[in-house]
Amino acid sequence: MAAADPFNPIPNPKISAYYQTRAAHTAVVTSDWLAQAQAAVGHHPDDSPAPQTQLLASPLASGKSFCVINEFNNWRKQPDLAEAVAAIRALAAVIRASEATTMMELEIELKKASDSLKSWDTTSISLTAGCDLFMRYVTRTSALEYEDFNSARSRLIECAEKFGEISCKARRIIAMLSQDFIFDGCTILVHGFSRVVLEVLKTAAQNKKLFRVFCTEGRPDRTGL
- Burial (CB < 10 A; 0-12, 13-18, 19+), residue 2, is exposed
Give the pLDDT score at 139.
Answer: 77
What distance, in Å, lies between the first and last C-alpha atoms of the chain?
A: 51
One-letter amino acid at 86 equals A
- Put simply, whether the predicted model's pTM sits higher than 0.85 gets the answer no
Which pLDDT tens digit goes with each residue over 49-69?
444 334 434 444 444 678 999
Which pLDDT tens digit goes with each residue over 163-204?
877 877 888 899 999 999 999 999 999 987 788 899 999 999
Which pLDDT tens digit goes with each residue over 78-115?
887 888 889 998 999 999 898 888 888 988 999 999 99
> 45-174 maps to which CATH number?
1.20.120.420
Domain boundaries, the chain: 1-42, 45-174, 182-225
Is the per-residue pLDDT at 138 higher than 90? no
Give the pLDDT score at 15.
Answer: 46
Where are the alpha helices (H) located in the chain, listed in sequence order? 17-20, 22-25, 31-41, 52-56, 68-76, 83-97, 103-120, 125-140, 149-177, 195-206
Give the pLDDT score at 194.
Answer: 83
Range with the poorest average pLDDT among 9-18, 28-37, 113-122, 123-132: 9-18
Which pLDDT tens digit goes with each residue over 140-160?
765 666 678 888 888 888 888
Among candidates 153, 123, 129, 127, which has minimal Cα distance to 141? Answer: 153
Sign of CA dihedral 135, 113, 127, 166: negative
- Burial (CB < 10 A; 0-12, 13-18, 19+), residue 218, is middle
